[in-house]
Chains A and B, each alone.
Chain A
C-alpha cells in the first residue's frame, strides 16, 4: 500500500515561496515522474514527501493518514539520492543492511534479505566491497538495494541517473522500470530529462516555478498539453511556436506545431524557409529551418532525405495537429 496525497502544500524559504500551492494525488503502485526545468522545486517537493523538509502549510497524507508532521523514518518511505549517499566506511552488504539493522532485525534475517536484494540487483559478487571501489552504476544499484530491503510504502528517487553516462543511463532506466513491474510499489521519480519522464512514467507531473502545470499520462501530456509551458517541455525536439498574424489566422494568440507534425517539400507548401543546420541521426533528420517572417523552426524529416545548409524548403503543418494557445499561454480547445 502506498498512496500519496498532497493537499494545498506550501513551502517557503523565508519569504520566497518555492512551492506556492501544490495538490496532488498519487495512487498506490503508480510510477509518477516529476519533471521541470532546473530550480523549479522538484527536489523540494520530493523532500517534503520524504519528510526531510517541513511543510509551511498544507497536508501530506500517506495511505490516507496525515503524516505532515511525522519524522522521515516514521513514513516508511525509501529515498535514492542523486549523490547515492552511500556510507563510505561500510561494505556494500552493510550499506544495504543498514536500514534493517536500525529496525532491530536479527543478523541472520538481515543477511538473507541483503543476499536476496543483491541477487535482484546483480550485486552478489560485490557484497564485501566498499562504495569507493564500485563504478557509478554499481553504486546506484547499492543505493536502490538499500531502498528495496526495507519494503517501503513508496520509493522516492531524486535524479538517480544524472551522474551516469548515456549508455548506462538507458540501462538503469530499464532496470528501474523492470523493478517497478516486479515490486508494484509506488515510485516517485524526479528528473529534468523529459525522455526519462516519457519512457518510465505512468503519469507525469510537470512543474514550473513550483506550480503543477499538468498531471497526466505521458500521451495525454503529448497530445493535449494544458498550456504552452507543457507543450514546449514535453516532446523532443521542442514544439515550434508562432504568434502574431499567422496565429490570428487560427483564432489564437499563439500556435504550436511539433517538428514531427510538419511536412517538408522542396517545391511547394505553406511556409517558405531556408535550411540552417541539418542534424542527420540516421533514422531521422532534424532540420533547423529559418522560415521567412516566422523565425527558426525545427522539423523532422526522414533520415534519408538529402537536404543541406542553404536549401530552400516549404513546410506544411498538419492542420489537425496545430495547438492553439491564448494570451496567458492556456491551451484552447481544438478548432
Chain B
C-alpha cells in the first residue's frame, strides 16, 4: 500500500465484498432495531404498535440483566485467561522435540473439532455428573465429598467447558507463532546470558504478542455469544447464575415469546459488544499494526 495508485486499486478491489458484508449486516440490524421499538409478543398478537423505549426500559431494569452482563464478562475474561495462559504453556510444551509429536499435536487440537453442543453434553454427563462423572469418581476414590458441578458452580463449569473447547485454538495459533521465532534470536539470547525465564519474558513473550492479540480478539467475538454450552448444561440456572446476555435474549424471545423485548436485548448486546470491541482494539489492537 505504498502509493496512491495501489491504495485506490485496493479500495476498488475490496469494494464488492465490503458492500455485500455491509448489506448482510445492516438488514438484520435495522429489522432488529425496528422490532425493538414495537410491542410484539407472540402470545398477544392483538397488542401491537410503537412503544418507543418501553422494551429497553424493561430489559435494562430487569434484575437478571445486570447479572447477565456480569456473567458474560466473567465468562469471557475467565475463558480468555485460561486459554491464553494454558495455550502458551501448551505451545511451549508442544514446541519441544518429543516422541510422537504429530499424534500429540493432533490430540491437542481435537477438541476444537467437537461441536459445542456435543462437548457440553460430554462434559455434563461424563465429566461433571455428580454420580457417574469422572470428577465424582476421582473425588470418591480419594475419599472426598463429591461436587455437583453444574448446580453448585454453574458459571465456573460453563467456563471450564468453554475453555476446554477454545484451548486448542489458542495453543495452535501460539504454537505457530512460537515456531516462527528465529532460531538465531534464541541462540543470541542464550549467548547473552538469558536463562529460560528471561528468555521467555524478553524474547518469547514479545514475539508472541501479536499472536496473543489475535487469539484475544477472535475468542472475544465468539465468547460474547456463548450459547450452546449453557443451553445444554445449566439452562442458565440455577436462577440466573449462569445466564449470559445471549441466553437472556433467548429466554425473552423463545420462552417468553416477547420478540420486542428480545430485540431490545439484542440491540443492547450489540452495543455492549461494540464497546468491548472498541476497548479491545484500543488496548491490544496496537500490537497488530507495525
Given contacts A81-B187, A87-B185, contact A146 B192 (CB under 8 A): yes
- Comparing A61-69, A97-105, A257-265, A269-277, the segment that makes contact with chain B is A97-105
Q: A98 near B202 (CB under 8 angstroms)?
A: yes
Q: B191 near A87 (CB under 8 angstroms)?
A: no
Question: For residue A89, which residues in chain B have a CB less than 8 angstroms away from its CB?
Answer: 206-207, 209
Question: For residue A82, which residues in chain B have a CB less than 8 angstroms away from its CB?
Answer: 184
- Comparing A70-78, A197-205, A213-221, A304-312, the segment that makes contact with chain B is A70-78
Q: B184 near A103 (CB under 8 angstroms)?
A: no
Question: For residue B198, which residues in chain A have a CB less than 8 angstroms away from its CB?
Answer: 102
Which of B193, B202, B207 is close to A73, meaning CB atoms less than 8 Å apart?
A: B193
Tell whether B95 is near chain A: CB-to-CB under 8 Å. no
Question: For residue B190, which residues in chain A have a CB less than 8 angstroms away from its CB?
Answer: 52, 71-73
Question: For residue A79, which residues in chain B have a CB less than 8 angstroms away from its CB?
Answer: 187-188, 191
Instruction: Name the residue in A71, A72, A82 with the highest tally of chain B Cβ atoms < 10 Å from its Cβ.
Output: A72
Interface residues of B in 185-217 (CB under 8 A from A): 185, 187-195, 198, 202-203, 206-207, 209
Interface residues of B in 147-168 (CB under 8 A from A): none
Interface of A is mostly: loop
Given contacts A87-B202, A89-B207, A89-B209, contact A102 B184 (CB under 8 A): no
CB-nearest residue of chain B relative to A89?
Answer: B206
Tell whether A174 is near chain B: CB-to-CB under 8 Å. no
Q: B194 near A102 (CB under 8 angstroms)?
A: yes
Cα–Cα distance between A85 and B187 once the two chains are bound (Å): 9
Question: For residue B195, which residues in chain A have a CB less than 8 angstroms away from its CB?
Answer: 73
Tell whether A224 is near chain B: CB-to-CB under 8 Å. no
Q: B193 near A85 (CB under 8 angstroms)?
A: no
Number of B residues with CB within 8 Å of any CB on chain A: 18
Which of B182, B194, B206, B207 is close to A85, meaning CB atoms less than 8 Å apart?
A: B182
Given contacts A98-B189, A102-B193, A146-B192, contact A85 B209 (CB under 8 A): no
CB-nearest residue of chain B relative to A73?
Answer: B193
0/1 per residue, A90-126, Cβ < 8 Å to B?
A: 1000000011001100000000000000000000000
Tell whether A50 is near chain B: CB-to-CB under 8 Å. yes
Given contacts A81-B187, A83-B184, contact A99 B207 (CB under 8 A): no
Report the minimal beta-carbon distance from A115 to chain B, rounded to whole angstroms.
Answer: 19
20 contacting pairs across A/B (C-beta < 8 A): A52-B191, A73-B192, A77-B191, A79-B188, A81-B184, A82-B184, A85-B184, A85-B185, A87-B185, A87-B189, A87-B202, A88-B207, A89-B206, A89-B207, A89-B209, A98-B194, A98-B202, A102-B192, A103-B193, A146-B188
Q: List 5 A-B pairs, minimum CB-CB distance, nearest first.
A: A85-B184, A85-B188, A99-B192, A73-B193, A89-B206
Given contacts A71-B190, A73-B191, A102-B194, 4 further A-B contacts (CB under 8 A): A73-B194, A79-B188, A85-B185, A146-B188
